Amino acid sequence: MPTLEEVKTCRAYIKKVLQETTIGEGIYFKNLTFFPLINGKIDPLECLLLEEAIAMKTASVTEVSESGSVPNLMVCNNSTLPILVPEGEILIGGKQNRVVNLTVIIKPYSYFVLPVSCVEQGRWRNASASFSPEFHAPPTLRARKMRNIHQMDTHAPVEEHVQSSVWDEVDRYLDEASASAPTRSMPETFRSHQTEIDEYRKNLTLEPRANGVAAVCGGTLLGVEMFNSPAKLQRVWGRLSQAYILEALTERFQPKLPQASSQVVKDFLKGLGSKTGRKAFPAGDGFELKILKNDLFGSAVFYEGRLCHLVALTLEVKY
């Protein structure tokens, strides 16, 4: 884990990155605006995304044992490079589908027990021997999950409280979509909205130089995501954009809203740098600085002193 001085350096670096980030021209459709975030000065870490490593057959994700464990999966990294596993990835397979609880970096040639939550309450039987990332969780589910995980440090809620909040969100999305889901599986929400999602995606093409994105519905900023290279963002963009589109299709938002102003994003980024925590927490073989302020939840993950992933999500819906 980093020293206090190293944490201070990382916090200053986050502020610098946000200050130097250019907000590109927004792309808009119906009620959703994506703003590309461009910063060519982030020191890129040579690493693989989990999906890349799985495709190259140098990584696998399985149940931790034959009997399995709901809140844990086993990742084997047999690559020469570290693997980045972004928070919010929905992993399909095994005994039930899961969502990744926090962004982690897994060093080369190692095993790691990955903390996850279930997003398929009605199944506990093997659909396959391994998992693959096929969807990304929508931002409100992720924000509520992170809120409960972040509170563990001071309020120590039981693990079941985090899982319960995820199931509540899955049920809400499924019910709003009137999705047919015998096992209460979150991916069925995406499938039930596939025609609308495809229409949005056809009209929302991301700037190829972007290594980050801000999503805004009307005047509500849903979240900011930043990777250490445009290639990493482009690789996850299909799943990530689909998750924000699903949020825009919920009852929370009108189906037609004006295009958002970039000033919303500018103001958000300006204040974000001061909201990172002063204490580091393990993130696999890296570490994270938590982002926690009122209804804002997220993290900045570092490996070998370099920023790999930053996410900040808002939670305006009250429960």
Q: What is the pLDDT of residues 234-265, one digit of tens each?
A: 999 999 999 999 999 999 899 999 999 999 99
Phi, psi of 199 (to 5 degrees): -65, -45
Residue 63 pLDDT > 80:
yes
At 3-51, the pLDDT tens digits run 999 999 999 999 999 999 999 999 999 999 999 999 988 887 899 999 9
Other Cβ atoms closer than 10 A to 81: 18
pTM summary value = 0.95
Residue 92 is inside which H or E element, if any?
Answer: strand 89-93
At 116-164, the pLDDT tens digits run 999 999 999 999 999 999 999 999 999 999 999 887 764 444 577 899 9
Q: Are the CB atoms for 266 and 83 separated by under 8 Å?
A: no
Cβ neighbors of 288 (< 8 A, separation 6 or more) are: 102, 103, 280, 281, 282, 299, 300, 301, 302
